[in-house]
Amino acid sequence: MTIVTRFPPSPTGSLHIGSARTALFNWLYARHHGGNFILRIEDTDRKRSTAEAVESIFDGLRWLDLDWDGDATFQTSSLDRHAEVAAQLLENGQAYKCYCTPEELTEMREKAKADGKRVFYDRRWRDRDPSNAPEGVAPVVRVKMPLDGETTISDLVQGDVTVANEQLDDFILLRADGTPTYMLSVVVDDHDGGVTHVIRGDDHLNNAFRQFHLYRAAGWEPPAFAHIPLIHGADGQKLSKRHGATSVQEYRAEGVLAPALCNYLLRLGWAHGDEEIISRDQAIEWFDLKGVGRAPARFDPAKLENLNAHYLREMPTEELVDLVLDAYREEALDCDEQIAKSRITSALPHLTQRAKNTTELIDSANFLLTQHTYPLAEAKAEKMIASSRSEIQEIRSALNDQEEWSEEALNERLRALAENLELGFGKLAQPLRVALTGSTVSPGIFDVMTILGRTETLRRLERVPDGEAD
């Protein structure tokens, strides 16, 4: 048997982080078993579905490197097929037409609430002769659920889960306008797509019992079900906007790397021993549903940040250089591209030790590639330059005839200068840092000087205003 999993997002917004984890688990399960991973866009909610959301889903999955097999399908393209199955169920006596008026349904709801009971359709048209149907009422089509006994689903994550069949309502398959409901569409699409394993959030567990019987009513074998606990925030509540970023695109914009995010999502509710850093190849080799826990996973931004920093440091130098340089291509570089690449390459060991994401890395590389202007944007830095002009002049004079441009030689020269001026070394190092980088924060000052080189260091010192800032 070929394993077939699916990811069926609704295109009503960006790819949610919880949905991305569901997609990842489905993708890994299929790849682990050498099976197929299907992408189906469930766009039957035409009012809320948008083309922009569809593209956002495609973009998010591609960025995460979760490729799907075959073309993505759209649920709306199979509406006729869904209606056809409903007609077959009617013909086989597994479904019936319900002619309840809106007023009757309202009365049912109000009575149930007044009696303190669950709001439940009372099945009044289940065995009623359609010839008694009121005029002018377009019927819905409802499925016949079993009336007694129990249903047990052997869930691959939750274990055996049982419900009393009296809790299963005769839900609607076709609305009065002839359009199919989600419950019908998803079962038909999963069956027609050959889906063998439905892996999804445990908020769909109740739906599984209804879908199980719909499969049986249609004469089909139900797939295996695996319901994964949802992701919660630190407060134990379902992950939402109040916990911070929730979409894949937001994390991407914040400088999170796709492999780091996938690694983190994989470890949210799944484990393989004590392994924390898991490559894509290892994930495919190790992934199984036995490793999925039953308790909700807690999303910890700090853990994602630390994991992302690890992946950032492990990225190939060439990729990092291109990533940084691409971010500045539209700006006025103060050097040609070859010099820019050389500076970035030399600085990376220092920059990646501080950066937790690509945004911070790109920002920290600013001094390598752009020319800061006076007055400086950073108030603390501008104040330091304004109060340290004489020290900058002394440094400039001391370095003008400095031929050996190594960390050791520069360290020796500037410390000697500080001693001659009877100053603590920091009184020279900090204004020098600002003069060279435009900021009070940077890699070590001697690292900065050797990365920039003698000519550029002296050029930047020459640019420091001698009088009032211009």
241 is catalytic: yes
> What is the C-alpha to C-alpha distance for residues 150 and 190, in angstroms, rounded to an integer?
24
Closest CA to 140 of 107, 106, 120, 170: 170
Whether the upstream peptide bond of residue 375 has omega within 30° of 0, thus cis, is yes
Which residues are registered as beta bridge partners of 40? 73
Spell out the SS3 assignment of 63-87.
Answer: HCCCCCCCCCEEHHHHHHHHHHHHH
Which residues are registered as beta bridge partners of 153? 161
Q: List, as own/partner pairs, every contact residues 240-243 make where C-beta atoms lie below 8 angstroms and the sequence separation is at least 24, other chains included.
A: 243/299
Decide if 3 contacts 223 (C-beta within 8 A): no
Spell out the SS3 assignment of 144-211.
Answer: CCCCCCEEEEEECCCEEEEEEHHHCCCCEEECCCCCECHHHHHHHHHHHCCCCEEEEEHHHHHHHHHH
Closest CA to 436 of 339, 414, 413, 444: 444
The catalytic residue among 47, 117, 241, 290 is 241
Tokens at 464, concatenated:
């420091």
Decide if 89 contacts 143 (C-beta within 8 A): yes
> What is the C-alpha to C-alpha distance for residues 193 and 36, in angstroms, rounded to an integer?
10
Which residues are registered as beta bridge partners of 180? 174
Tokens at 197, concatenated:
């394993």
> What is the C-alpha to C-alpha distance for residues 262 and 28, in angstroms, rounded to an integer?
11
User: In one letter, which amino acid is 273?
Assistant: G
Decide if 351 contacts 444 (C-beta within 8 A): no
- Residues annotated as part of the active site: 241
